[in-house]
Amino acid sequence: MRLMFAAAAALTLAACNPPAETPATTETPALEVNAPTGEYTLDPNHSTVTVRAQHFGLAHYTLRFNKVAGTLNFNAETPTQSTIQATVDVTSLDTPYTGDRDFDSELQNSSWLDAATSPTATFTSTSVESTGANTARVTGDLTLRGQTHPITLDVTYDGSHSPHPLGMQVSSIGFSARGTFQRSQFGINELIPRAGNDGVSDQVELVIEAEFMRPIENAPVPGNTTAEPVN
Amino acid sequence: MRWSALFVALAATVLISTTGASAQSTPPAANFPIAVDVPAGTYQLDPRHASVLFRIQHGGLAWFTARFDTKSAILTLDPADPSHSQLTASVDATSVNTGVLNAQGERTFDQSIGRALGGGPITFTSTAIERTGEHTARITGDLTLNGQTHPATLDATFEGSGRDILRGGNMVLGFSAQGAIDRTQWGVNDWRAFTGSEVQIVIEAELVRG
């Protein structure tokens, strides 16, 4: 039964996956790389870190971390030589519910993420392996709740431009990443299922959308004026 | 599970009958039970355990993801044939939450998106539910957004069910649903210079029987 369901879910996902999540095949053409080699900074206004875990075998409880920072050392010639380091402010945990329960703070307490003791989570890549024309498997060390373990992210390169189409003198590059880890590995054991679905799944999904920017060398530093709504 | 043998038998029957009738255009019988083993009734969204995300590609780069925080839904479930069920759902355009604040710490970005979406309720009323598998269905409905109504489709997965003491001992159903719309169909054309027209919708929802 569980297998049948898993197969059905997998098929459904395969059938309705949005383009950004479609696994690359040999037929997928390589997207152009328009951004130069260099050190890029995460654009916090255009990046989203979403976390999901299945709640009692029902829906996937979905939350977000609002404060994220990161540095990408991008190698345009040999992208697998790129490295990334990212930091998440655990105290910026943000759930979609406001009302008689404050899940934002409950999930930061000592039985969950223990944000008072471990206020930051970090990811530092250790290897990048190409898996397709626009995809790669990025392995790295995740430090969460004071413990460090390797995790793997399946990353899709979405595109890049230099300069910005609205004329700002920046190079930009965007990625989508998906990954999972077992939260019990990091000592997050609250409501771990004892039997079947009587808890919140040990497996946690990461859904990351990230853009990185870098000023174009020998160009005037971009000012604060832009036609984009975020600033 | 207890009816896995039945499933195999049904699947075999379908295979045989499909082979025998390959020249005909009649669709094969569903290879899963039509009825589902959950109580009939009216199920309401549990806002504590639900999320409505939307994703839009920014500048040809990443798929920026935001959510609607004010949401509701009512499912009138017919377990004898779930395709006869009815779903209505609503989110408030002004409850857009990007997590992005301006330099003064204000939610001006959220507000500008809320205005771009017409500022009112965004509603979805199912018009057809078609089973695509034992645990999956394609839900077509009328989506009203920015004062305009057009059909939209969600691919839904039934994740599971159970009674929850913390929710009055009532039956709770869990669903995931995904879909995509072209926002320009609804006249939402803001920021076209650097954001895509396709908007992906990612829903996770638990519904509690009243």
Cβ within 8 Å, pair A209-B133? no
CATH number reported for the structural domain that contains residue A142 in this entry: 2.40.128.110
Length, in residues, of chain B: 210
Q: Which residue of A has its CA nearest to B105?
A: A231
DSSP, collapsed to helix, strand or coil, labels residue B130 as strand
B19 and B39 part of one domain: no
B14 and B68 part of one domain: no
Mean pLDDT on B172-193:
97
pLDDT bracket for residue B114 (50, 70, 90):
very high
For residue B21, is pLDDT > 60?
A: no
The pLDDT tens digits for B153-170 are: 999 999 999 999 889 999
Count the domains in chain B.
2
ipTM above 0.90, yes or no: no
Return the pLDDT at A229.
Answer: 65
Boundaries of domain holding A115: 31-215
Return the pLDDT at A202.
Answer: 97
B54 touches chain A (CB under 8 A): no
Cβ within 8 Å, pair A45-B48? no
Residues in A closer than 8 angstroms to B112, CB to CB, are 229
Boundaries of domain holding B26: 1-31
Please report whether residue A16 resides in a domain.
no
B20 and B121 part of one domain: no
Please report whether residue A113 resides in a domain.
yes
For residue B10, is pLDDT > 80?
A: no
Mean pLDDT on B65-81:
97
**Under the phi-then-psi rule, with left for phi > 0, alpha for psi from -120 to 50, and beta for the rest, what region is A114?**
left
Those residues whose C-beta lies under 8 Å from the C-beta of residue B188, and which sit 6 or more positions away, are B116, B117, B118, B145, B146
Q: Which residue of B has its CA nearest to A229?
A: B109
Please report whether residue A229 resides in a domain.
no
Alpha helices in chain B (DSSP H): 4-20, 108-116
For residue B69, is pLDDT > 80?
A: yes
B75 and B124 part of one domain: yes
User: B73 or B9: whose pLDDT is higher?
Assistant: B73
Return the pLDDT at B4.
Answer: 43
B46 and B12 part of one domain: no
Residues in B closer than 8 angstroms to A211, CB to CB, are 58-59, 61-62
- Give chain A's residues under pLDDT 50: 1-21, 225, 231
Count the domains in chain A.
1
A62 touches chain B (CB under 8 A): yes
Those residues whose C-beta lies under 8 Å from the C-beta of residue A206, and which sit 6 or more positions away, are A49, A50, A51, A153, A177, A178, A179, A180, A181
Cβ within 8 Å, pair A1-B4? yes
If you search the block for the tokens 């029902």, which residue do you land on?
Answer: A58
* Angle, CA of A199, A203 and A209, to the nearest 5°: 125
Q: What is the DSSP track for A54-116? A: EBTTSSEEEEEE--EEEEEEE-SSSGGG-EEEEEEEGGGEE-S--SSS-HHHHTTSTTTT-TT
B69 and B109 part of one domain: yes
B72 and B133 part of one domain: yes
